[in-house]
Structure 1
Amino acid sequence: MRLFAAVLPPTGAVDELAVAVDRLRALPGANGLRWTGRDGWHFTLAFLGEVDEELLPAVEERFGRAAARQDPFPLRLHGGGRFGQRALWAGAAGGLDAMRLLADRADAAARRAGVAMDEHRAYKAHLTVARSRATGPAADLRPYVEALAPFEGAAWTVGEFALVRSNLPVHGVPGARPRYEPVRVWRLGH
């Protein structure tokens, strides 16, 4: 199964971001982007990729330990950015050092559980809201980043993280999106 560790923003934060994203979708050229669904908005901490089901108990045990060592921390959705012309994202503010530490712990936990992880990179907290389409010229994401820059969401306390299963969209089905389902959730500091 295809898995990742994530912080899932609460409904209120998702609702606030949805208002901002609706404004972005009204900008010229927005139909040239693939917009992610609000039901899938998350902050990926560590991407595990395809994981053999036999490793799942070890992953869950290690993630439980990582969660127990991490105190809850404040976070809010804040501004945005882009990765080249490929992806548009909302950013975060608040306990970013704690978020990076949780990402490092999730990555290390997966490695210790036997998951063959990609090369470890510096963590950048982001929540993807749109991607360039695979065909055609890449969209200029700069106007969207500028429009998202003043966005400030309300703060919340990150008190848990989740192991999430990614179900890829059916190939060839127009408008199909990945579906994400939490496999297990751990409370932080417990």
Structure 2
Amino acid sequence: MRLFAAVLPPARAVDELREAVRALPADGRLRWTGEAGWHFTLAFMGEVDDRVLPDLRERLRRAAAHTDPFGLRLHGCGHFGDRALWAGAAGELDSLRMLAERADAAARRAGVPMEQHRRYTPHLTLARCREAVDLRPYLEALGPFEGTRWQVGELSLVRSNLPVSGVPGERPRYEVVAAWPLGGGA
């Protein structure tokens, strides 16, 4: 199954971001991600063999237990080249980065082949495009966005179900398959 570790924003944060995104200019070349897909990916694992799942789950549980809850908020925006627009994060980013490092290490130690390691950039993908798009109007509009602070208290293991119908505009579906409290809480 196709998996990744993530921090999921609470409903209030999603509501605030939805309102900000709703005010953005329309451009049919952008493929907007659905709200159900708004998350901070910590470690993308791709296809994971069922045989490593028990060890992976245990290692992710330990990674969560070794990370204290921390404050985060959606903040501003950014882009990857001219093909992806994202919302950023502010708050205890060192804690978010540490959780990402621990999730990546947990996957590697469980035997999941991971991509080459690079510094974690906290982002929540809002839109992608196949061709170059001038993202400046979106960056200017979302740049001052400040969401309400929330307490991150959980690490989630999420399954990504890619579209298979061939219907234009179909989006991946995401399903939380396991979650662990940060700091070893119940």
Shorter-chain TM-score range: over 0.9
Which residue of 151, 171, 177 maps to 1:177? 171
| Corresponding residue number in structure 1 for 2:96 | 99
Which whole-Å CA distance do the structure 2 matches of 1:61 and 1:155 have between them?
29
| Corresponding residue number in structure 2 for 1:20 | 20
Q: Deviation per CA, 1:89-109: give whole Å up to 9, x if none.
A: 000000100000000000000
Q: List alignment gaps of at least 5 residues for structure 2.
A: none
SS in 2 for 1:189: helix
Q: Deviation per CA, 1:69-114: give whole Å up to 9, x if none.
A: 0000000000000000111000000010000000000000000001
Output the aligned Cα RMSD: 0.9
Which whole-Å CA distance do the structure 2 matches of 1:172 and 1:35 have between them?
17
Amino acid at match of 1:179: R
| Corresponding residue number in structure 1 for 2:147 | 153
Asked if 1:49 corresponds to 2:46, the answer is yes
SS in 2 for 1:144: helix
Asked if 1:115 corresponds to 2:112, the answer is yes
| Corresponding residue number in structure 1 for 2:37 | 40
| Corresponding residue number in structure 2 for 1:10 | 10
SS in 2 for 1:125: coil
Asked if 1:125 corresponds to 2:96, the answer is no
Which whole-Å CA distance do the structure 1 matches of 2:30 and 2:174 have between them?
20
Q: TM-score, normalised by structure 1?
A: 0.95
Amino acid at match of 1:147: A
Q: Taking every aligned residue pair, what percent have the same amino acid on both sides?
A: 68
Which whole-Å CA distance do the structure 2 matches of 1:152 and 1:47 have between them?
27
Q: Which runs of 4+ in 1 moved over 3 A?
A: none
Which whole-Å CA distance do the structure 1 matches of 2:104 and 2:30 have between them?
30
Which residue of 61, 64, 68 maps to 2:65? 68
Q: Deviation per CA, 1:116-146: give whole Å up to 9, x if none.
A: 11101100000000001x3xx4211121011
Q: List alignment gaps of at least 5 residues for structure 1.
A: none
Asked if 1:90 corresponds to 2:87, the answer is yes
Asked if 1:188 corresponds to 2:185, the answer is no
The offset of 1:171, in angstroms, is 5.2
Which whole-Å CA distance do the structure 1 matches of 2:155 and 2:88 have between them?
18
The offset of 1:172, in angstroms, is 2.3
